[in-house]
Amino acid sequence: MPTIDLPTLLMVSTALFVLMSVMFHVTWRQDRRNNAAMLYWAGAHLLGAPACVLLSLRGEIAAWASIGVANFLILAAFSLLLGGVLVFEERRLRPALLSIGPMIWVVATQLSVVWDRFPVRVVLMSLLIFAPVAIASLTMWRGGGREPLPSRRLVAGVLGLVALTHLARIGLAWAVPLSESFAALGQGWTAFVAVQILLQEVLLGYGLLSLVKERAEYRHRRAAETDGLTGVLTRRAFRERVAARLVAEPDRGALLIFDLDRFKAINDTHGHLAGDRVLTDFAAAVERRLDSDDVFGRYGGEEFVVFLADSDVWAAWRRAEEIRRDFAGLGIRHGERTISATVSVGVAAVPMIGPDLDRLIASADAGLYVAKRTGRDRVEGDLAGAEEMLGDPPDDPPCLPVGNGAC
């Protein structure tokens, strides 16, 4: 079995904790509002440094300091680690929850059955460390659906490994009991576990620093891709995503172009704030009708565009009609006024036009022009071409405005 000099390992750990604390603090100072989790992680590593110093002085200073205070600081550090994860994931932070572990240790060490028995202390400390680290690992893993950051799995995995390592200590403490001397603790399974914990700390620190950098890049990219008013994709982001989709699936999908009717008159009559409210309410009405694979963007001014991933021309026409009717019936509130607004829609389908985004937009735009010219508040597209290429419409054809046929 390996043998190590435990005081030396603890001094190396002290230097590592100080270095990581400084790095987390510097990162926090660069953007205090968005890097609040870094302050918790800096504090956690700062507490780890004196804890290692006290542990290394076991036998030379009073036991209440080298055992009691040192382990209290370790538990406080792990509580701050969990607090940082909760802040990073924008979860509710309960300070009382973070104090449970350290307080249990303080109370338990007043009992002779704990204080006088080394294996019992090892088991208690392992359980009190396992709980916050396991919660942190699970919280970090679940956040992947909201922000798919590359380092998230690394951090969640390392936290899970830390939790399992301390869980394994429980069984080992009872199966292979050891004395508390440094000579005994520096060999056998305790030496192996100590080295593993140090390596895990290095990986964890790297992962946490990477997470913050990746989030900043992710949010900057999202901000560049998102329309500031409506929250939907910008024109450029929409085109990039749909173009990639058409390359991957060149025979599926349909495109809808929406243009709000008489939008300039709304701005002139009710003001630009009212116009903004109309735009945001329209975007919300569209999103309620979209599936997770659909792509929605603002193409410019009062013009919006949607790519329906799995729709043929008939399903796309039906979806356009649903959105048109939803928006016409909104009755948009602005102050004490109610604004009535409508939208015209052009439809184009990939099987009819081909996997060419510019041609799809041109075809849908031609349908939109017809809708505007023939009365607005309607859906238009090349239905004759659809019947020729795709066959007769389904038994429940889309509900069409007057002039295009009956429902």
Q: What is the CATH number of the domain that holds 38?
A: 1.20.1070
Highest mean pLDDT (candidates 165-179, 210-224, 229-243): 229-243
Indicate the length of the chain as a whole number: 407
pLDDT, average across residues 100-112 = 95
| pLDDT, mean over the chain | 86
Q: First vs last Cα of the chain: how many Å apart?
A: 81
State residue 220's pLDDT score: 86
State residue 374's pLDDT score: 92
Inside any domain, residue 399: no
Inside any domain, residue 401: no
Same domain, residue pair 83 and 132: yes
Q: pTM of this prediction? A: 0.71
Question: Looking at 169, 201, 225, which one is the last position of a domain?
Answer: 225
Residue 163 DSSP one-character state: H
Inside any domain, residue 405: no
Q: How confident is the model at residue 187 (pLDDT cuts 50, 70, 90)?
A: low
pLDDT, average across residues 269-294 = 93
Same domain, residue pair 137 and 12: yes
Inside any domain, residue 275: yes
Q: How confident is the model at residue 65 (pLDDT cuts 50, 70, 90)?
A: very high
Contacts of 284 (CB under 8 A, 6+ apart): none
Residue 157 has pLDDT above 90, yes or no: yes
Euclidean distance between CA atoms 365 and 359, whole angstroms? 10
Same domain, residue pair 55 and 144: yes
Inside any domain, residue 407: no
Question: Looking at 164, 191, 225, which one is the last position of a domain?
Answer: 225
pLDDT of 1-21, one tens digit each? 566 777 788 888 899 999 999
The structural domain count of the chain equals 2
Same domain, residue pair 203 and 304: no
Domain of 169?
6-225
Same domain, residue pair 296 and 160: no
